[in-house]
Structure 1
Amino acid sequence: MNARSLVLSSFLRMYRPQMLWLAGFLIVGVGLADAVVVRFADPPFSLWMFVAGSAVKYWLGVVGVTLVAVHLRQFVAAGITRRDFIVGGLLFGVLLAVAFALLVPVGHGFEYALRGGADGVPAGYPHWSPSVAVSEFGHVLPSCLAYLVTGAAAGAGFYRFGAWGGLALLVPALVPVAAAEGLLGLGDNGEVLTRLVPYGVALAVSLLATVLGAVLYHRELRHTAIRSAPMG
């Protein structure tokens, strides 16, 4: 197993409990909330899309921050180069982003079925179909990747340059999220939207901003000094 695969497998093992807890919380928590809401009302919005569609992005942003703040020193101390750590960590993040971007449309499909399908949901509720699921995945994945890279770049900026340098680099680090949220998002009822430009253009701009964020992350980390662990 090469070093990058080792980093990837290590992250998958370390974060597996959190991934399962998050997925379980969303499925059970939002499912119960949906049952209560539908019992007393019939809202024309998708609770799942609002809660899950936001939660997975924010969690990936937090994961991006912890890649450096929590794990960089321990991996480098174990003999992993910064380059292998960066590549392996980003591969792990991409796998996470794909997995949770898939969870969102799949969960929406279950919610749609539980609320009665086409004949049971009220007017305005975002209908579900396989083609809608593909569209939802295509909107959620770029946002998940953007939040991950923004978290990683922001965390690396503060780690290497301290508070003031990190604040200065926070502006370019936030560009991927700004592009994704500005061009691809949710409407008032939880339906996916493309804003300002056609979807292909929005996707290209969002992915380009995310790639630039990954480049910033790499530049911040490639020569950074490794901080020693605090003395207990």
Structure 2
Amino acid sequence: MSGLAAIFPRRLLAANLYFTLIVYAIFVVVVMGVAVAIGVLGDLESSVWERAVQAARWFVLVIGITAVRLYLPVYVAHGRTRREFAAQAAVFALLFAPAVAALTALGYLLEGLVYRLGGWPHQIADRHLFDGPGQVAPVLAEYWAQYLVWVSAGALLGAAFYRLSVGGVLLIPVAAIPVILVHSATDLVQVLPLIGRLPTPDLPGTTGTAIIAAMGGCALIFALTWAFIRDIAIRNPG
């Protein structure tokens, strides 16, 4: 039991989930308000949430970055080892990704209620693992895979920039590879403007492919992140 307690990221989860719920509540109100405005003033033919939730990936990336840059020095300063922090950060990523995926799926359901009340068609516009926004299981699978690689990529970048300063920019292409692979297997959204101009793999759009890509990419990123933080020097905040 003590071993499980040692790797369970209670503080990381509590702080970041609390902040996420606040941001989520504001985000839902704004997006639903935009959807209603479009429906009343124009033509509402597809999900606004589908487009808006792309911002969640960047939010998750930032959470991954801050999880290392902000919390690693605090953990070490309070007597925890870098190995203990790495284990907790890995578990945090594995738990945080499905939590945000669940909030994303809930957003689709809430949007569905709004669309039903307004008499608007609730449809999706892009390729996904799901055919409709109400298909909860494939919605969860797709966004779980995406958020897992985004939060993991954020942790890698946080560790790289903390250790190498501006040299951390060299790790951006490495962190982007799992992200590209997962998106190739899910929605093919242009994650970055540059990606749309580069040859990218067209993986089979199946849940199994997305899960394999996410877990494989996550394992690679975890290994690289550990390589950066295993003997990293903790800087004086002052």
Under a length normalisation based on structure 1, what TM-score does the superposition of the two structures give? 0.84
Runs of 4+ more than 3 Å apart: 122-129
Give the letter aligned to residue 46 of structure 1.
S
TM-superposed CA distance for 1:13, in Å, is 2.9
2:146 to 121, 128, 143: 143
Query: In structure 2, what is the equivalent of residue 168 of structure 1?
Result: 170
Matched-pair contact (CA < 8 Å) for 1:149–1:214: yes
Percent identity of equivalent pairs: 24
Contact 2:50–2:124 (8 Å) recurs in 1: no
SS at match of 2:187: strand
- Structure 1: which amino acid aligns with 2:180? A
8 Å Cα contact 1:143/1:181 also seen in 2: yes
Q: Where does residue 178 of structure 1 map in the other structure? A: 180
**1:157 is matched by which residue type in structure 2?**
A
CA contact 1:142–1:203 (8 Å) conserved in 2: yes
CA contact (8 A) 2:47 2:124 kept: no
For residue 168 of structure 1, report the CA deviation from its aligned partner.
2.4
Counterpart of 1:212?
A: 220
Instruction: Evaluate the alpha carbon distance shift between residue 96 and residue 76 of structure 1 in structure 2; reply closer, same or farther with a 3 A threshold.
Output: same
* Map of 1:196 onto structure 2: 203
CA gap 1:214/1:124 in 2 versus in 1, 3 angstroms: closer
Unpaired runs of at least 5, structure 1: 189-194
| Partner in structure 1 of residue 29 of structure 2 | 28
Alpha-carbon shift at residue 33 of structure 1 (Å): 1.3
TM-score of the aligned structures, taking structure 2 as reference length: 0.82
Unaligned residue ranges in structure 2 (runs of 5+) = 126-130, 191-201
Give the Cα separation in 2 of the matches to 1:82 and 1:75. Answer: 8
CA distance in 1: counterparts of 2:209 and 2:98, whole angstroms:
21
Aligned length: 218
RMSD (Å), alpha carbons = 2.5
Query: What's the offset of the Cα at 1:183?
Result: 2.3
Cα distance change, pair 23–122 in 1 and its aligned pair in 2 (3 A): closer
The answer for the alignment partner of 2:96 in structure 1 is 96
Alignment correspondent of 2:41:
40
Residue pair 1:157, 1:170 contacting (<8 A) in 2 also: no
